[in-house]
Structures are given as structure tokens and as C-alpha cells.
Structure 1
Amino acid sequence: MSGLRVVPAWRHGSERLYVCGRDGATIAWYDRGTGRINLLGEAHRKAVLDALGPFLAGSVTVGPPPVPTPAELARLTLHPDDDLAPNRPGEALLVALDRDPAPVRRLRPDPRRRALSAEQTVGEALDRLEGAGWHTLHSVPLPGGDRIHHLLIGPGGLFAVHALYARKQRVLVADPVVTLGRRAAEPLLRRLRADADRASYALTAEVHPVLALADPSDVTVAAAPRAVRVLRDSALPALARLGGVLKPADVEALHAMARDRNTWGRV
């Protein structure tokens, strides 16, 4: 077979080279990360190797595509409307602001804008952990109108992360209340633990609550909160160093379950 085209693409952070026939159909692909050429038909082996020759480096293995894992099969059968993985940080707030924008003239800034800023800051920090074997889902809906700002899944376990706008403000944490600047104290940690418990029930796995403070000037924790981590947004990358809890296959399976909107309808 001649006239093959090699088309580069990125998938899950790694580069793939797709080999396409004259009709545009894919007949093979080369995954640089694993050094494997996946053939959809043995009849095209020589032509595919000739086409990929200039792009190959080091030893490679050639064979049929691996059998999809249960997590991959679940992802492939998931309806796009039920897939939470494409959600952007602050997705629910972005939709709300688009449907009901604040008046142009307003004495005080729309509090939704500040909340959105916090979720975007925290969400972007968590998304950067993707290459270390972690997955993050944003704006995970819960029955009753509640939601988990960010759900982090990786080798170190599962974390329900709540983003709090604290720019240039002092934060006092005295379980279960959190005091932001001169505002009245709120029992925020109680809510975080409840949301994490609901997530644990939905996923049948332990989910740990995390309070992520976006750009505070100072943080005081009166005593270590029960079962809740309190972190500045700049310290979130430290979560990537946690490990020894979940195997890669478990991470993928839990991510496949969590990204399905229907998983959250029963909590």
C-alpha cells in the first residue's frame, strides 16, 4: 500500500503519530511514549513501517492494539452530555454568569466573579498534576444544587477540593469555622466533610476534603482540623507527591466512574 499519510496528534499528554490511508481512515498509530506501533491489520505492516521509518527512534514493538480496559470501555460508551471530564474550572459559575450576568452598574463586585477566580486558580493548579498520573474533574454536580468544586483522583487517593477566594486577606481556621478577613465566621469545614462523605458514598472509595485558599495574605490554623487539609493554592502541587494508595488501574477506573454524571444522582 502506498500514499500513506502520517498525522501527528496529542492524546492524554503524549504524542501519537497516526498513519492514514488515501481515504483518510486510520490503519495504525505510533505511540512515542510507549514505543509501540498499533496495527489495525497485518496486511499493512510493511507499508506502515516504511511510512513511520523517519519518525522512529530506538526500539519499537509492533502488534494489534491492546484490548481496552474496563475504564476505557466505560469512557467509550459514555454519552457526551453525561461526561464531566470536559468541564472547565468554575464551569457552573461560567454558565450561571452567562445566563444571568450582573448589572453593568453595580456598587460592589459580583461575588460570583471572585468565586470564579478562585476556582480557576485552584483548578489550573490541579490540572497541572495530570502528567504525574492524576486526573481532575471540575464542578461535579450533587443533588440539591450543591457541587464539588474539584475532584482530584490519583496515586495518593481521592480529594474533594473546595476553592475559597482569599486574595490579600487573612484567614483564620478554627474547626469547623473559617473566618475570612472581617467577615462573619462560617462553618465551612462541616460542609466540606459532608460533601466528601457524599463523594465517598457515590464512588465507594474514601474521599478526603481539602480547603484550597486562593492567594491569602496570611493563614492561621488554630488546631489541625479533623480530616480536612487546608492548603494555599501555591501548595497544591504537594499533593502530587502523595502515593502508595491507588494503583494506576484503580485511578483510571475511579476516574471513569466519577466522570459519569449519573454516578452522582444517587447521593
Structure 2
Amino acid sequence: MRGLTVLPSGRPGRGRLFVNLPDGRAVAWYDRRANRISLLEEARREAVLAALRPYLRGEPAVGPPPVPTPAERLRLALPPDRDLAPNRPGEPLLGELAYGSPGTRARHRLRRELEARELMGSELDALEAMDWRVLHAVPLPDGRLIDHLLIGPAGVFCVATVAGGRRRVRVGDLLVTVGRADPRPDVRHIRGAAAHAALALRTPVTPVVAVVDASTVEAAPTLRDILVLQPPTAAPYFTTATPTLKPPDPDTLFSLARDTTTWLP
């Protein structure tokens, strides 16, 4: 049928593809993660399949929309201005670079931190194909952010990204030191952020320090409650970790975590 358009929803390559009529009304959608086409009008099956053919992976399941789970009903009822799922890695840094007026040195630092968060964010986003869910730039009541929140079979992980800048990075019990720069309180922050997340989501949360582009990384031997990881070995750690959540739990926790009122009541 002429006039059908295919429009994405969510982060590029991750969300659904909606098939719409010229008036904007949806007649079907393709869930890439589940490889399933949900038809709202059976009479348009062939036209929908033709419109989606360039985007399909193998032979998808085709049928009426499945009955939504409680987590999906919560997601569908969430207003867009409360939804954190579209956030990009380093979202506030993008705004500061585009609309702020930092000096040359500050701009260079912001770009380095943004590149680190984008690299780590891309590695975590790739886990969505393996039943993980990811949020970026999650706000906290104290004005700080959780760089990345990862939810999946092995549990919930609160990730702080450290830009190594090809220097030696030392991760201590309370502070992180990059090269010869002054120590930073990243460890204290991510420990506190994970504790806040555990209360907000009512589930255990593991704090993680992800060091990007460092020449060497040294972690204090007494640091046992925080994971210290580096791309590209971070993703394999999560995919091989022992599952701790039942299959419905990650989606339920993700629906709760993506709502800003969970973090900023």
C-alpha cells in the first residue's frame, strides 16, 4: 500500500520501528529486540511487511500486539518529559559544550570526558541485544548524575566513567587520581549513588568505576565493594556474570528507573 512510512522510536538501532499511515496513525510496529511485528490491522499485513522488509532480521514473528506486561503498561503511561530512556551518554556535557562558554582548557576537559562517556555508553548499549537495559545521565537529588545505569540478568550496576587521557589512573578507597592531577572523589560519589539507587529501586546495586583510555590502571587492594573495569573488557564481564535476577525483573526495574520521579520525587 502506498503512503506507509517507517519511523524509529527510542535510541537509534535500539527501539521500535513504527509503520504509519499518511495521517500519522500507526498500523504496526517492529520490535527489533524480539524480532516481532505487531499488527494493529490484519488487512494491511502485506503492505506492512513490504514497508519493513529492508529492516527485518531473518523471519520475524507476525501477529496482533501481545498483552502488555505491568512494566510495559507503566512505560506506556509515562509522559515524555519524565522519561530518561532517550538520554544520550554525557547528555549534560553536550549541552554545556553547545550552549555554555567554557574556556579553552575547560572545553578540552569537557570533550575528553564526553568522549569517555560516549565510548563507555556505546559498549553498554551493545548489551541491549543480550537482554540488558541501559540508562544514561540519571539525575540525583544532590545535582550530580549517574553516568550509566545498567540493568540485566546479573543485577543492577551504577557506573561512573573516568577519562584516563592516556595517563596512569589510580583508584583508591575514596578517590581517583588521573596522572598528576588532583585526586577526585569519583569513588565516594559512585558509592553514594549506588546506595541511593538501591533505595530508589529497592534492589541491590553494584557500584562500578569504568576507566577509559588510560595507560595503566591501579586499584587499591582494599577496594572490594566497587568494580574497576576498562573497555573493551567491561561488556564481557557483565555478560559472563552469574544471573541474579529472574527474567521479568530487569524490565520491571528498567520501567521504574527510567521515570525521573524515581530519582527526583
Query: TM over 0.5: same fold?
Result: yes
Q: Runs of 5+ in structure 1 lacking a partner?
A: none
5 Å-filtered alignment, 1:24-35, equals: 25-28=25-28
The Cα of 1:71 is off from its aligned counterpart by 1.4
Judge conservation of contact 1:6–1:17 (CA < 8 Å) in 2.
Answer: no
Match in the other structure for 1:253: 252
Judge conservation of contact 1:192–1:210 (CA < 8 Å) in 2.
Answer: yes
CA spacing shift, 1:227–1:147, aligned 2, 3 Å: same
Amino acid at match of 2:68: P
Distance 2:35 2:89 in 1: 33
CA spacing shift, 1:17–1:200, aligned 2, 3 Å: closer
SS at 1:253 equivalent: helix
Judge conservation of contact 1:8–1:15 (CA < 8 Å) in 2.
Answer: no
The Cα of 1:36 is off from its aligned counterpart by 5.7
CA spacing shift, 1:237–1:49, aligned 2, 3 Å: same
Moved more, 179-188 or 79-88: 179-188
Deviation per residue, 1:107-157 (Å, 9 max, x gap): 675432222222112112111111111111111011121111111111111
Match in the other structure for 1:240: 239
SS at 1:163 equivalent: strand
Judge conservation of contact 2:28–2:48 (CA < 8 Å) in 1.
Answer: no
> What TM-score, normalized to structure 2?
0.81
Q: Runs of 5+ in structure 2 lacking a partner?
A: none
Deviation per residue, 1:20-66 (Å, 9 max, x gap): 77877544567687676644356x3xx63697599799998765321
Which has the larger Rg? Answer: 1
Q: What is the RMSD of the two structures over their aligned residues, measured on CA atoms?
A: 3.3
1:191 aligns with 2:189: yes
Judge conservation of contact 1:16–1:31 (CA < 8 Å) in 2.
Answer: yes
CA spacing shift, 1:58–1:214, aligned 2, 3 Å: closer
1:213 aligns with 2:211: yes
Amino acid at match of 1:99: Y
Match in the other structure for 1:100: 100
Deviation per residue, 1:69-125 (Å, 9 max, x gap): 11111111111111111111100111223332224xx46754322222221121121
% identical equivalent positions: 41
Match in the other structure for 2:81: 81
CA spacing shift, 1:16–1:185, aligned 2, 3 Å: closer
Match in the other structure for 1:160: 158
The Cα of 1:260 is off from its aligned counterpart by 0.6
Moved more, 178-187 or 28-37: 28-37
Distance 2:249 2:261 in 1: 19
CA spacing shift, 1:159–1:61, aligned 2, 3 Å: closer
5 Å-filtered alignment, 1:8-157, equals: 13=14, 18=19, 25-28=25-28, 38-40=38-40, 44=43, 48=45, 52=49, 63-103=63-103, 106=104, 110-157=108-155
Amino acid at match of 1:247: K
Distance 1:200 1:95 in 2: 29
Moved more, 114-123 or 137-146: 114-123
Query: Of residues 158, 167, 172 in structure 1, which corresponds to 2:170?
Result: 172
